[in-house]
Structure 1
Amino acid sequence: MATVVVFHAHPDDEVILTGGTIARLAADGHRVVVVVATDGNVEGPDDAPGDAPDRIAELRASAAVLGAARVAALGYADSGFGPEFYPDPPGRVRFARADTEEAAGRLAEILRDERADVLLSYEANGGYGHRDHVQVHPVGERAAELAGVGRVLYATMPRETLMRGLRIATALRLPYFYGPDVVPTAYSPRDTITHEIDVRSVAGVKKRALAKHVSQVPAGLRFCPTPLFALFTGREWFVERGVAAAGKPAGRLL
């Protein structure tokens, strides 16, 4: 059995991008460790202390549903996604400003402690350009180097699928998370994807895990029929570092 460390920027990213994969790996007997760089709270200058939800507690509840063996946080503050980049909160550094070597050292310590076989991380574009997601890439690369983890895969989505979704949403005048300025360079072209994991069999697990992020996810999610949820979230994709995509993507990570 292998140990897989899954490195994400914020709580809830672990479900959205890799929840089904975590559940499948855990069900197969592999040890899965979820690490987040930040607690997911932006903490602007007008926010009162204690106002922020405990998103790490939500993460722990989500990870328990998925079957992860351990949750760890590097301790950085969320850098936010909007144009305004707030100053660092008292006593903490926003992850996008973190020293790469220091942050990588924190992650490498976990990788060594776990004797990790595989690291799941992000590509250089951070998926959709969030400054914390972008920072995950160099920190993950350096941590893998420091800890001697040779196998690294990047959680992603097919860019063409996002483009199709944007066109449909635009035609129907529906809100869409990824704007037209983001989609053309978001995530990965389909022909670079090395792994496509069918996670429809664990869609119910993934839905229950996502529902644990109560501060982020609409309460109505629990009323979404699992088959419908599986239709939209039943695939997860990865690009393996140093591996050229050839033909049909692999259906398993291990």
Structure 2
Amino acid sequence: MATLVSFHAHPDDESITAGGLLRRAADEGHRVVLVFGTRGERGEVEDGFLDEGEPLWQRRVAETLESARILGAARTEFLGYSDSGMMGEPSNDEPGCFWRADVDEAAGRLAQILREEQADVLTVYDDNGGYGHPDHIQVHRVGLRAAELAGTERVYQLTSNREHFRRGWSMFAAQAKAAGIELPRAGADDIEMGKPEAQITARFDVADQLAAKRASMRAHASQIAEHSWFLAMPEEAFGYAFGVEWAIRDGQGPGITETDPMAGLPV
């Protein structure tokens, strides 16, 4: 049995960026471990969602544990930093936030888990954190450094395929409007998510894990409401948007050279 450690910034990131990959690895008999830099304290939540006096982080931790169960994760850990908020907000400078964490110190916490688990594979994010969120960028920095410290050689930088996203936007925007589904406010050409297709080296087909991925998203109800575009989109559109997960691995490419992060590892 090989071990996959998946490192994320906030609860629900694991569902959106890697839910299919994680469930697929678990289905194949591998050990899956989730690690989060923060507990997502600065997430947005609809009025009246939380119980009186309930802190958001507490609900998000509970949601994460349910998501982990759905995805087949054997262990879930939080590194203990606080959510930094979006880039440019005053919360970026607060003591204890992940964005301001010393990279070597934070990497040491993650490296300890990598050593304990004898991790074969680590997932992080690309160098822009997918879309420029400070905590996501920090996942990239801390994750790569932790891999160096622990000697974890197989590291995948999860990303999104920019051209695939734009093609999908063109295909499904009219359908979404007709169905009354509210898409993100920016247009496809304004969203600099992920990386250009030519820079991506790994394509993971997770169509068989879509039901688990959607259930994992649904577990994060404080952040992903039933009426959100993530869950409200039709099956065809959901399959296009989330049925493939993308990554970059240094030393691979050009072009897609990998379709299974666990290839060649013992079950």
TM-score class, shorter-chain normalisation, is 0.7 to 0.9
Distance 1:179 1:94, change over 3 A: farther
In the alignment, residue 67 of structure 1 is paired with which amino acid? Answer: G
Deviations 1:84-142 (A, max 9, x none): 222766xx611001111110011001000100011100121111000100111110111
Structure 1 counterpart of 2:191, from 183, 192, 197: 183
CA separation in 1, counterparts of 2:242 and 2:118?
A: 30
* Secondary structure of 2:69's aligned partner: helix
Matched, 1:55 2:63: no
Distance between the aligned counterparts of 1:20 and 1:253, measured in 2? Answer: 12
What residue ranges of structure 1 are gaps of 5+ in the alignment? none
1:26 is aligned with what amino acid?
A
What amino acid does structure 2 have at the position aligned with 1:239?
Answer: I
Per-residue CA distance 1:18-68 (angstroms, 9 max, x = gap): 000000000000101010100011289xxx974425211111100100101
- Quote the Cα distance in structure 1 between the aligned partners of 2:241 and 2:132: 22
- Cα distance per residue 1:196-224 (max 9 Å; x no partner): 11111111111111110010111347676
Alignment of 1:54-203 (within 5 A): 54-81=59-86, 83-86=88-91, 93-164=96-167, 175-176=183-184, 183-184=191-192, 186-203=193-210
Identity %: 44
Alpha-carbon distance in 2 for matches of 1:159, 1:223: 22
**Which residue is equivalent to 2:41?**
41
206, 209, 232: which is aligned to 2:241? 232
Structure 2 vs 1, CA of residues 121 and 87 (structure 1 numbering), >3 Å: closer, same or farther?
closer
Q: Displacement of 1:147 after TM fit?
A: 0.6
Q: Which amino acid aligns with 2:17?
A: L
Deviates more, 1:16-25 or 1:155-164: 155-164
Say if 2:125 and 2:158, in contact at 8 Å, map to a contact too: yes
CA contact (8 A) 1:104 1:140 kept: yes
Distance 2:190 2:232 in 1: 30
Are residues 1:213 and 2:216 paired?
A: no
TM-score (norm 2): 0.82
Contact 1:100 1:139 in 2 (8 A): yes
Q: Secondary structure at the match of 1:86?
A: helix
| RMSD value, Cα | 2.8
Tell me by how many angstroms 1:163 deviates. 3.7
Determine the C-alpha separation between the residues in 2 that align with 1:228 and 1:189.
Answer: 21
The 1:130/1:223 distance shift into structure 2, 3 A limit, reads: closer
Shift of 1:250: 2.5
C-alpha distance in 2 between matches for 1:161 and 1:234: 12
TM-score by length of 1: 0.86
Aligned length: 247
- Helix, strand or coil for the counterpart of 1:219? coil
Q: Which moved more, 1:153-162 or 1:109-118?
A: 153-162
- The CA deviation string for residues 139-177 of structure 1, in whole angstroms up to 9 with x for no partner, is 011111111111111111111223445667889986426
* 163-172 or 107-116, larger mean C-alpha shift: 163-172
1:209 and 1:43 mapped to 2: Cα distance?
Answer: 17
| Distance 1:22-1:178 versus aligned 2 partners, 3 A rule | farther
In structure 2, what is the Cα distance between the partners aligned to 1:60 and 1:190? 33
